[in-house]
Amino acid sequence: MTPDVSAILTRLREALPDAMAAHRRNPGPSGQDSLLVAPESLVAVCRFLRDDPALAFDLLTNLTGVDWPDPAKAEAVAVPVEETAAPACGFLETVYHLYSTTRREGPLVLRCRTADRAENVAIPSVVAVYRSAELQEREVYDLFGIVFTGHPDLRRILMWDEFTDHPMRKDYVAPDDYEYEPTPHDEVLEKAKRHYPAAP
Amino acid sequence: MIPDSAISFPPSPNANPALDDDQLLHVSLGPQHPSTHGVFRMNVVLDGETVVSLKPVFGYLHRNHEKIAEGSTYLSSMPFTDRLDYICPLTNNWAYAHAVEKLAGIEVPERAEYIRVITAELTRLINHTAFAGFFMGDMGAWGSALMYAFRERELILDLFEDLTGARMMSNFMRFGGCRNDLPDGWADRAKKYLATFPAFLDELEKFLIGNEILLARTQDIGALPAATLVNGGITGPMLRAAGVAYDLRKARPYGIYDRFKFRIPIGEKGDCYDRFMIRFLEMRESLAILNQALDQLPAGEYIHPKAKIRGFKAPAGEAYAAIEGPKGELGFHLISDGTFTPYRYRIRPPSFINLTLLEDMCLGLDLADVVLILGSVDIVLGEVDR
Amino acid sequence: MAATESTTPAATPPPVSEWSLPGMGLIKGLVVTGANMAQSFYRKDRMTTVQYPEERVAISPNFRNFPFLAYDGEDPATGLRCTACSICEKECPPQCIYIVMDRDENGKALKRPKVFDIDVSVCMNCGICAEVCPFDSIYMDGEYEIATGDRFGSLVFHKERLARSTDYHAKLRPAQAAEVAARRKADAEKKAAAAAAKEAKAKAEKEAKEKAAREAAAAAAAGDAPGTPPP
């Protein structure tokens, strides 16, 4: 059963008047509307959704990132219900899917946006509320480069430690030789010489 | 409900002065280790035999499936989902097809829903029999139990080969149905095979359950409180073994699961023994579902007549849909911007998220128990690393 | 350590099983394996091993391996059904198909492939090419003994290697081939009927036009007859 986002938002505003959250409509047939939460209110909102007995969203099922170099595309997928200022530049977004195991309701979709894609890419970690975010936030950090402040152990998880880029970003350029070898030889060495600049 | 104070983390290995002790032994368990079920590594710190710290290391099988999927058509990603959890390709296919159907609002004909349930429950049988065999292997009983399990798995794979054309890489579900109909006589052969399955289960149970070594090795090992498991995102048999009756087939019925009569087995303590037993009980329930589905199987279309195979486009929007895979909640989160390729394609992998609490389960136990606990989580690295 | 008490299970001794005599579990297990071993000599369903290559399992009609290209008639060079439309190339998940359209000297597309390569070292036998082909041209083969000693060259199949006659297809997948043949025949008949109708219509139109022209000419001739030359 998909939850009623506007009712949850009303309840949230009563309990947490300072929380900055807005209802976003999903234009597709799935009907899964979302709550756009400001980064500074994210942890408080999550804690309220988990602890409020009438909501009891105790399971954070899925946490992922989305890269939006073009903000208009993001607004087209999560359409503002109330009048809001359109974002000026591209940004990164995290999406959370919450379920209630006791009330059997979900998914409640939360989304949270960074200020831009280059410098201000921090979003508070929800690990203190939902432990299941631990590995998933590490994955989003690794693949999208969103920095989760307050995460106890934020390291790369899928890519190797020396890797520098974030491959799930839309502007990521894949290397032309996929067969990366730390100690290349033969043909791979020739390709590696062409691709990687000589070490100083 | 779980208070914040109950959520704690084993400290990061980079900021844990306790691990600098010269007396501790640092062991890199994996990535090529027979008991780690694939290329999975655990950096374990031992005080004698006791585990002081355990950090899983992922990514040896990472191929960025999500990035590949965002650059190819919706249909092209279907065969790649086979390779996620390669023990159970058909449930992966279903989860993806289910998410795309939700994203684009596609109806599925009744017969196709029945075929999906039948293949998914057969997949659950495969997964759980293979689990029993591998788990015995983790315990040192390498050989007989696994071979018995694989013999049954082979017979189900033969059915799959007749149906989908491949034993493991099935690529069978389509948006709005299945790729082909059941071949002639397939349902009868499946029924005939399933009639022999309870005898195999009885034999395996007689063989294993009540074995002193199994009891001694698994009871009271790796248990965590149910609230911690829910908070840690654990789903599937792992969670139900701890006594939480949360199965998506009942909790949020998808497909036609509301038509069948079956029970959700739950455990008591959530230790390795309960996790082992819960899979045996689930196989009995899967058999019940299969027998009902094969008896009720209606005639009709196996794919929606208006389903589009070439040039499929989804309207702008997003959807998250999940099914109860054999290993837990297998979900797909898709964002479409109205073009031929998904804008965002995300898999919610149960194997990966079920490893969140691995360290918590292993701390204070012996090294030999670590191997068992990892076995009881039931991971496939194709899905963990994607 | 920051581990809470919940992370360390209570060290309760495991309960003694119902068989208190030590070694009973072992004996029970050996009885099961012994029974299985004995049965494997006479029970058909226990004999699962097949002595390949002397014995072979019949392959399932749905079994799929690498793709092949179907051609009509005798000559694969002229009979290929493929029109080089590149739909399979676009849908192929591992991108292992490479097609170049054949063109005449003026650059006009001849609707047949100049190059049709499939790199079977990349192909993953998914069958999507066969599924999306609108021209009944590409199907999945059932041949599986195609190992070579070479890692690259001989694993790229060119169109000559890929071409298989429709008879081969009919032998491999009789049901599918019969369905395709029936559909193609019906389509061809429909097309022929449409072409005949079009021709008849064109003929009728032409006749009507000619008749109208004749009448107009006659009328013009009649109108001209009084002969009022322009001033």
Contact A167 B335 (CB under 8 A): no
Tell whether C8 lies on the interface with B, counting CB pairs under 8 A: yes
User: Is position B3 within any domain?
Assistant: no
Query: Cβ contacts of residue B107 below 8 Å, gap of 6+?
Result: B101, B176, B304
| Single residue among B17, B35, B57 that ends a domain in this structure | B57
Percent of chain A with pLDDT over 70: 90
pLDDT at C14: 41
Percent of chain B with pLDDT over 90: 24
Confidence of residue B293 (pLDDT cuts 50, 70, 90): very high
pLDDT at C21: 66
Query: Higher pLDDT residue, A185 or B94?
Result: B94
Q: What is the mean pLDDT of residues A31-35?
A: 87
Verify that B186 and B208 share a domain, yes or no. yes
Q: Are B249 and B117 in contact (CB under 8 A)?
A: no
For residue B35, what are the domain limits?
A: 9-57
Tell whether A30 lies on the interface with B, counting CB pairs under 8 A: yes
Confidence of residue B349 (pLDDT cuts 50, 70, 90): very high
pLDDT at B334: 93
Q: Which residues of C125-154 are buried (b: 16+ CB within 10 A; e: fewer)?
A: bbbbbbbbbebbbbbbbbeeeeeeeeeeee
Order across the sheet with C67-71: list the strands.
C138-140, C67-71, C163-165
Q: Are C84 and C113 in contact (CB under 8 A)?
A: yes
Q: Which residue has the tokens 């062409």?
A: A194
Percent of chain B with pLDDT over 70: 94
Which chain B positions have a beta carbon within 8 Å of C7's beta carbon?
224, 360-361, 363-364
Distance separating alpha carbons of residues A79 and A92, to the nearest angstrom: 17
Distance separating alpha carbons of residues A91 and A68, to the nearest angstrom: 5
Verify that B36 and B146 share a domain, yes or no. no
User: Is position B1 within any domain?
Assistant: no
What is the DSSP-derived secondary structure letter of residue B77? G
Tell whether A76 lies on the interface with B, counting CB pairs under 8 A: yes
Verify that B194 and B306 share a domain, yes or no. yes
Tell whether A153 lies on the interface with B, counting CB pairs under 8 A: yes
Q: Directed axis angle between helix B144-164 and helix B110-138, to 10°?
A: 160
User: Is position B371 within any domain?
Assistant: yes
Q: What are phi and psi of B31, to 5 degrees?
A: -75, -20
Burial, C229: exposed, middle or buried (Cβ in 10 Å; 0-12, 13-18, 19+)? exposed
The per-residue pLDDT for range C180-213, each reduced to its tens digit, is 888 888 888 898 888 888 888 888 888 888 888 8
CB-defined contacts B:C, below 8 A? 128
Q: Give the 3-state secondary structure of residue A195.
A: helix
pLDDT at B209: 73
Q: Which residue has the tokens 């022209």?
A: C213
Q: Of B353, B114, B284, nearest to A99 (Cα)?
A: B353
Q: Of A95, A24, A90, nearest to B344 (Cα)?
A: A95
Verify that B93 and B151 share a domain, yes or no. yes
User: Is position B2 within any domain?
Assistant: no
For residue B51, pLDDT beyond 70? yes
User: Phi-psi category of A112—alpha, beta or left, where left has phi over 0 and alpha has psi -120 to 50?
Assistant: beta
Q: Are A130 and A57 in contact (CB under 8 A)?
A: no
Verify that B40 and B135 share a domain, yes or no. no
Percent of chain C with pLDDT over 70: 85
Q: Are B228 and C11 in contact (CB under 8 A)?
A: no
Verify that B25 and B141 share a domain, yes or no. no
What is the DSSP-derived secondary structure letter of residue B85? S
Q: Are A20 and A40 in contact (CB under 8 A)?
A: yes
Verify that B268 and B130 share a domain, yes or no. yes
Task: Give me C60's structure tokens.
Answer: 């399932």
Q: How many domains does chain B contain in total?
A: 2
pLDDT at A199: 60
Q: What are phi and psi of B18, to 5 degrees?
A: -60, -25
Q: What is the mean pLDDT of residues B18-33?
A: 78
Q: Of C70, C87, C178, C83, nearest to B309 (Cα)?
A: C87
Q: What is the mean pLDDT of residues B115-139?
A: 90
Which residues does residue B226 pair with via DSSP β-bridges, in sequence order? none
Which chain A positions have a beta carbon within 8 Å of B348's beta carbon?
61-62, 97
Contact A76 B104 (CB under 8 A): no
pLDDT at C15: 47
Query: Cβ contacts of residue C130 below 8 Å, gap of 6+?
Result: C64, C67, C138, C139, C140
Length of chain C: 231
The per-residue pLDDT for range B66-118, each reduced to its tens digit, is 998 998 889 888 999 998 888 899 999 999 999 999 999 888 999 999 999 99
The per-residue pLDDT for range B324-348, each reduced to its tens digit, is 989 999 999 999 988 889 999 999 9
Amino acid at A115: A
Determine the distance in angstroms separating the CA of A57 from the nearest CA of chain B, rounded to an integer. 10
Contact C6 B225 (CB under 8 A): yes
Q: Which residue has the tokens 């009979």?
A: C79
Neighbours of C183 (CB within 10 A): 11
Tell me which residues of chain A, numbers 33 to 72, contact chain B at a CB-CB cutoff of 8 Å. 34, 47, 50-51, 53, 56, 58-62, 64, 66
Q: Which residue has the tokens 């974030």?
A: A166
What is the DSSP-derived secondary structure letter of residue C201? H
The per-residue pLDDT for range A90-118, each reduced to its tens digit, is 899 999 999 988 888 878 899 999 988 88
Boundaries of every domain in chain A: 5-160, 170-200
Tell whether B318 lies on the interface with A, counting CB pairs under 8 A: yes
pLDDT at B124: 93
Confidence of residue B6 (pLDDT cuts 50, 70, 90): low
Verify that B161 and B50 share a domain, yes or no. no
User: Dihedral of the CA atoms B375, B376, B377, B382 (nearest 10)?
Assistant: 40
Q: Looking at chain C, which subunits does it touch, using at least 3 CB pairs closer than 8 Å as the criterion?
A: B
Verify that B197 and B49 share a domain, yes or no. no
Burial, A166: exposed, middle or buried (Cβ in 10 Å; 0-12, 13-18, 19+)? buried
- Average pLDDT for chain A: 84
Contact C124 B169 (CB under 8 A): yes
Tell whether B158 lies on the interface with A, counting CB pairs under 8 A: no
Query: Cβ contacts of residue B266 below 8 Å, gap of 6+?
Result: B240, B241, B243, B244, B245, B278
- Residues A5-160, CATH architecture: 2-Layer Sandwich (3.30)
Task: Give me B4's structure tokens.
Answer: 């914040």
Low-confidence ranges of chain C (pLDDT < 70): 1-22, 223-231
Q: Looking at chain A, which subunits does it touch, using at least 3 CB pairs closer than 8 Å as the criterion?
A: B
Tell whether B166 lies on the interface with C, counting CB pairs under 8 A: yes
Contact B331 A95 (CB under 8 A): no
Neighbours of B213 (CB within 10 A): 16
- Average pLDDT for chain B: 87
Verify that B123 and B174 share a domain, yes or no. yes
pLDDT at B36: 63
ipTM of the complex: 0.85
Q: Which residue has the tokens 């035999």?
A: B49
Nearest Cα residue in chain B from A54: B1
Q: Which residue out of B50, B119, B167, B212 would a mutagenesis test of the C interface target, given it has the greatest number of C Cβ atoms within 10 Å?
A: B212
DSSP secondary structure, B310-359, as one string: TT----SEEEEEEEEETTEEEEEEEEE-SSSS-SEEEEE-HHHHTTTTHH
Tell whether C19 lies on the interface with B, counting CB pairs under 8 A: yes
User: Is position B30 within any domain?
Assistant: yes
